Structures are given as structure tokens and as C-alpha cells.
């Protein structure tokens, strides 16, 4: 039995399509590993391009994965014709982002007509062993999409 | 009169060197526009590679700029021989990250022996006009650097 | 010249009335010290009843003052007939809440039709000297008030 | 098998004693419902004294319960002779704090020598049915306690 009941029967398709339109995900090599109603797992390989001064992946890049995971998880529960934007998020960095791959796993905590709250966790995989490296709590907002635009002028935020 | 009194006379040099070791900053084309004790301005050009589904710069990339700005601002006030890591941050997205350039401006709010709290703001520049697009509050931690390592095993976080 | 243009000509009156309806503020002895469009200062005397294990005022009580300051500041800029609720906030504790009096000062950072983002600072006063003890960033939401109810069933949050 | 291994054999006793020294908990009528290594449940009855303008319990009071729950959970895993203070927390308000009783449940996510990260959830109980009303993520700091003081001057924060 699914935990959430999506309002949009095409929720998997529109969520995947929104993910695919994020050029930043392509640039970072992030892909969808699992997608369900209110839940998503993303996967990212290590790449030296995204490191900070100690050779770990930069907290902002980890945050990009967590934020998109939250956004896609929230988007699966929004009505057809919605646009989505991130209102805010908070990230706690628990351990160095050191690994061969990284997983970003988000779950909807509270879906809402306007606002949806999600939680996400980032894991680093080293030799098949995963460890928790960061957490996020974020608020996402649904906006009715205007038909005649590709860049909605009223979108209040970046996600 | 400077607002803060750096403990390390080489604070500008070590802060700039730490920034230069962040491969992620190079990849994103971010540079230091201004650097003082407890304050830093970073600058980033728009690049389609970092966009989300509506063509705006991804919230995670904006967060990368804000986080590094906080880290460098905090680092200018840490004692010589310190390593720095990000404990946590919270970002509020106020408007779409749409612009030709982006500025990330951080200020130390409370320097401390172990923990330093910073605030930062992100601005989008369009035709010479700047608008506020995001805020960050973050906590940074100073760690004594071990002499014999390049990747400190005890570093607790990613920034 | 005021920084913000209130939509409701009675903004001072309705903001003060909303504050007066908060029984928690009365219980805590918190009063309005200054009220303007988009800005408010609250004041609270020290009371042993609100202390934690070291005799300082509890972080939750400091947060209550900061949250109400944000809420009242945001409320001054909302249209007539609005209800307000807090979506989220983040508090950084910078120093022990030790003092004879405490001030909570909030400013609207970004007013919006639905969401308003505020920043607030808490100060402790000791012998006439004020020191910064905490910061808050918070998101507030405007809801159209239903005419026929005193406890709006749809209110999504507590503030 | 316990999830965490406490460093202090007296962890239950010292955690309960720290809770008992919080005058604010007594004032709010909050008590410990369950206490284990790295986990705590607190319970609070509804009281009109703590309400906001719509008759719900104020977000700051809910935050006080969540913050103390995080602090006590973290404290069970700290070494003997530690003092604890809250560095920061973030609260998302998901539903009105309306109920006969409230539960605050915290779990340690990542214990550390200096910093410990916790998550907590607040529930409202109405006629035996519980609903989630708020979440918190918080960072707590361990400090070695000085023998000769009751109010540690170096304590950096209020919890």
C-alpha cells in the first residue's frame, strides 16, 4: 500500500520529466535510482571537479543533490499542471563527503496544497559500504503553471 | 577601523589560498571580488550548465557560493594552522536566480574559538541592477590542522 | 521615507491587536517596544521561571520572542483580512541568554503575497549594555481569514 | 541491543538530573515519558497560558519542548563531566499545535566528541489520536564542565 496518494495519475512521468529538464543534474552526473509517490533516490558519482579544499565533495554540491531529491519527491504529490519551487532548506553536514558514489534520498513528511515539507539524507558509498554524511529539511511550494510561458516570471525561487 | 581583529597576520593570504584549493569554485567560475577580515564577496557568471528546470541557476549552486563565502569569511578570523569545516547552513530562496552575474556576500556575525556563525546574501545582477535572491545563516568550525596529512581524517563535514 | 508600503492602512492597529491576542506573550511578560511597517522590537524582562539548567533563559523562550517578532513584522505588510502562520524558522544561539531584559528585533527581508521572509535578532541587556545572543530567519505565510470562525481549521502552523 | 553506546555509565541519571534543573520545563509542565541512550520522549499538557492568537500553543513553546528533547537525547551520549549547550536548531511547523497533550520525541542522528546532531518531532494528541505537528533538526555542543562554577562563563548558548 503506498504511503501517499498522488493527485496526478502521471506523477512518475511528470516528476521524471522535471528532473530531466534540470541541466545542473546532467552536469553533475546525477540520475534517478528510484522514484515512487513521495519518495526519490538520486545517485551521483564522485568527480574531482566538485571538490573543496580537502578533496571532499563541496557542501553546495551535496545540497544540490539533496534539494533536487526533495523537489522531485514533493512534485510526485502535486496536482497536474503545477510548477514547483524551493522555499528554503537546512543542511547539516555530518561527515566528509568522501566516496566513490553518493546517494540522495528524500521523503515527503507533510504534503500540502501550497507547501510540502520534505526530509532527505545524503550517503557516501565506499567499497560497497554506505555512511550518512548529511541531512536536509526543506520546504517546497506548488504554483499553478501558466500556459503561455516557459520561464514563469512569478516563480519565487530557484528549485 | 576594522570590525574584527584577525588572530592570524597572514589572514588574507591563507583565506585566498584556501579558496584557491576549492576545485568546485574553479569549475563554477567563482572568484573573490573583495576580501577583508570577517567579510568576503564572491562573483559568479551565469552558466547554463548549472540551471534547473526553469532555466534559473539551481539552488544548490547558489548555496555552494553562499557556503564558500561564509567559510572564507570565517576563515579570515581563525588562528594560524586551522582547518575549517561547515557544520550546517540554512538557505532561504527569495527570488529566481536569473541574471548575468551573481554575487555572494558573507559577514561573520559571531566569531568563536571553535564555532563561527556567518550570514550571507546572494544577489543576481541584470543590466547593472542587483536584486536579493537568497540568504544563508551558517555555522563553521575551526579544527587544528594536523601537520602530516592532506585529507584530515577527523574532518567532520564537507566544506 | 518608509522602507515598505503597507497594503492595509490599519497595519499598526491590526498588528498590535494580533500581538495582544497572544496569551503566551502576556504570560512571558513580553511587550511591544517599537512597531513600524515591516519592523518590530519586543521587550521581555528576565524571569527565573523560563530558565534552563544553567540559569540562562531557555532557547525555546528566546525563540518564542523571536518568532512573534517575525510574525508581527510580517503581519504589518499583509493585506487586510489576513491570518498569519509560521512556516519555519531557524535559530542560532550565539551567547548565553543572561540579562535583566531581552530585546527581540525583527525586520522583513522579503514581503510576498503568500510567503514573507523575516530576520530577527535577540539581545540581552545587562547594566545598560546590550549584547547579541541569538539570530532567527523565518518564513511566515498569509492566509485569507474566514469570516465565521475564531480557530481557522485550515491554519497550517502554530504562529 | 541499544543503538548507541553511552560513554557515561550514569547517563540516565545525569540526563534526568539535567532535565530536572530546567526550571522552564517545570513551568511548562513538561515531564520525561521515556529516556534511553540517544532517545527521549517528553510530554506536555495543553495550557491556555502558552497560546498564540488563534488558541494554538505558540511555536516557541513547541520549540522549547523539541529543543530540550534534543538536548537530553544528546546528553545521554556525552562523557561524564560534560556541560551541554544548543548551537542551533530549525523548526518546521506542519499543523496547528492543538491538542490535549503534546509529545516531543528526539533521537541522536550523529553523536560526536564536540558536536551532536539530533532530530525531533512534536505530536499533538486529541482523543487518543496523535498527529505530527512539527519537526526539528538541531546541533548540540559538549563542553567540559568547570568544577568551580555553577554558571559556566564560557557557555556559548542557552540550552
For chain C of 159 residues, list the mean pLDDT of each consecutive stretch of 10.
85 96 98 98 98 96 98 97 97 98 98 97 96 98 71 41
Sign of CA dihedral C21, C25, C29, C32: negative
Among C115, C116, C155, C157, the strongest candidate for a mutation testing the A interface, having the largest count of A CBs within 10 A, is C115
Contact call for D115 and B156, based on CB within 8 A: yes
Asked if residue B150 has pLDDT above 70, the reply is no
Q: Could you give the C-alpha distances from B71 to A92, B16, B51, C9, C50, in angstroms and in order? A: 15, 11, 24, 43, 35
User: What are the structural domains of chain D?
Assistant: 11-143 (3.10.129.10)
Contacting partners of chain C (3+ CB pairs under 8 A): A, B, D
Q: Is pLDDT of B157 > 50?
A: no
φ, ψ (nearest 5 deg) of residue C126:
-130, 115
Q: Bridge partners of C138?
A: C89, C118
Q: How many CB atoms lie within 10 A of CB B148?
A: 5
Q: For residue range B18-66, what is the model confidence (pLDDT) as tens digits? A: 999 999 999 999 999 999 999 999 999 999 999 999 999 999 999 999 9
Q: How many angstroms separate the CA atoms of B137 and C49, rounded?
A: 30
What are D45's strand-pairing partners? D101
D64 interfacial to chain C (CB closer than 8 Å): yes
Short-list D47, D42, D33, D35, CA closest to D11:
D35
User: Is the CB of residue A29 less than 8 Å away from at least one CB of chain C?
Assistant: no
Which band of pLDDT confidence, cut at 50, 70 and 90, is reported for residue D147?
A: low
* Yes or no, beta carbons of B115 and D87 under 8 Å apart: yes
The pLDDT score that the predictor gives to residue D144 is 87
C87: which chain A residues are within 8 Å (Cβ-Cβ)? Answer: 87, 115, 139
Q: Tell whether B115 is within 8 A of chain C (Cβ).
A: no
CA distance C77 to C74: 6
For residue D158, pLDDT over 50 is answered with no
Supply the mean pLDDT for chain B.
92
Q: How is residue A124 annotated by DSSP?
A: E
Chains that touch B (3 or more CB pairs under 8 A): A, C, D
The Cα A50–Cα A81 span in angstroms is: 34
Q: DSSP E strands: which ranges in B19-114? A: 31-36, 39-45, 82-93, 101-110
Residue B78 or A146, more confident: B78
Nearest-Cα residue of chain C relative to residue D26 = C49
Q: Is residue D158 a contact partner of residue D87, using CB atoms and an 8 Å limit?
A: no
Question: Which of A1-15, A51-65, C140-154 comes out lowest in average pLDDT?
Answer: C140-154
Mean pLDDT of D45-49: 98
- The residue among B27, B23, B91 whose CA lies nearest residue B59 is B91
Going by the DSSP 8-state scheme, the letter that residue D51 receives in this structure is: B
Chain A partners within 8 Å of C114 (Cβ): 114, 141
Contact A155, A85 (CB under 8 A): yes
Kindly state the helix (H) or strand (E) to which residue B18 belongs, with its residue range: helix B11-20
Which sign, positive or negative, has the C-alpha torsion D111, D116, D117, D120?
positive
User: Hey, which residues does C103 pair with through a beta bridge?
Assistant: C43, C123
A101-110, pLDDT tens digit by residue? 999 999 999 9
Contacts of A26 (CB under 8 A, 6+ apart): none
D92 and chain A: CB distance < 8 Å anywhere?
yes
Q: Give the C-alpha separation, B77 to B140, whole Å.
A: 11
The DSSP symbol for A79 reads P
Q: How many residues does chain B have?
A: 159
Contact with chain C for residue D132, Cβ under 8 A: no
- Model pLDDT, residue B3: 81
Give how far D45 is from chain B: nearest CA, Å.
32
The pLDDT tens digits of the residues spanning D64-120 come to: 999 999 999 999 999 999 999 999 999 999 999 999 999 999 999 999 999 999 999
List Cα–Cα distances, D113 to B83, C26, D108, in angstroms: 17, 40, 13
Side-chain-facing half-sphere of C107: CA atoms under 13 Å: 6
**CA D16, D18, D24, D30: dihedral to nearest 10 degrees?**
-10
Q: Taking CB atoms and an 8 Å cutoff, what residues of chain C touch A70?
A: none
Q: Burial code of C66-90, b = ≥16 C-beta within 10 A, e = fewer?
A: bbbbbbbbbbbbbeeebbbbbbbbb
**Where residue D3 falls among pLDDT bands split at 50, 70, 90?**
confident
Mean pLDDT of D8-24: 97
Residues A78-94 have pLDDT tens digits of: 999 999 999 999 999 99
Residue from the list A24, A58, A90 with its beta carbon closest to the beta carbon of B90? A90
In this structure, are residues C11 and C37 in contact, taking their beta carbons and an 8 Å threshold?
yes
Mutate which: B110, B119, B123, B124, vs C, most C CBs within 10 A = B110
Which of D88, D112, D114 has its CB closest to that of B139?
Answer: D88
pLDDT greater than 90 at residue A2: no
The 3-class secondary structure across chain C, one letter per residue, is CCCCCCCCCCHHHHHHHHHHCCHHHHHHCCEEEEEECCEEEEEEECCHHHECCCCCECHHHHHHHHHHHHHHHHHCCCCCCEEEEEEEEEEEECCCCCCCEEEEEEEEEECCCCEEEEEEEEEEEECCEEEEEEEEEEEEEEEECCCCCCCCCCCCCCC
Chain centre distance of CA A99: 20
Of B64, B94, B157, the CB nearest to A157: B94
Quote the pLDDT of residue D11. 96
The chain A residue lying nearest D118, using CA atoms, is A92
pLDDT at D145: 82
CB atoms within 10 A of CB C8: 18
Alpha carbons B58 and B65: distance in angstroms, whole number: 11
Return the SS3 of D50.
helix
B65: distance to nearest CA of chain A, Å? Answer: 7
Mean pLDDT of all residues in B107-117: 97
Q: Which residues of A touch D94 (CB under 8 A)?
A: 109-110, 117
- Predicted pLDDT of residue D2: 59
Amino acid at each position: 500500500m503506498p504511503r501517499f496518494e498522488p493527485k496526478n495519475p502521471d506523477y512518475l512521468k511528470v516528476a521524471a520529466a522535471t528532473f530531466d529538464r534540470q541541466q545542473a543534474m546532467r552536469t553533475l552526473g546525477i540520475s534517478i535510482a528510484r522514484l515512487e509517490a513521495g519518495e526519490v533516490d538520486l545517485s551521483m558519482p564522485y568527480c574531482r571537479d566538485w571538490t573543496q579544499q580537502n578533496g571532499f565533495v563541496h557542501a553546495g554540491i551535496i545540497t544540490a543533490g539533496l534539494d533536487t531529491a526533495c523537489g522531485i519527491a514533493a512534485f510526485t504529490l502535486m496536482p497536474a499542471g503545477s510548477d514547483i519551487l524551493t522555499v528554503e532548506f537546512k543542511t547539516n553536514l555530518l561527515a566528509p563527503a568522501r566516496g566513490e558514489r553518493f546517494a540522495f534520498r528524500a521523503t515527503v513528511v507533510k504534503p500540502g496544497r501550497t507547501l510540502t515539507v520534505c526530509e532527505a539524507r545524503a550517503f557516501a558509498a565506499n567499497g560497497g559500504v554506505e555512511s550518512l554524511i548529511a541531512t536536509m529539511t526543506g520546504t517546497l511550494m506548488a504554483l499553478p503553471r501558466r500556459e503561455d510561458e516557459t520561464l514563469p516570471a512569478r516563480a519565487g525561487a530557484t528549485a
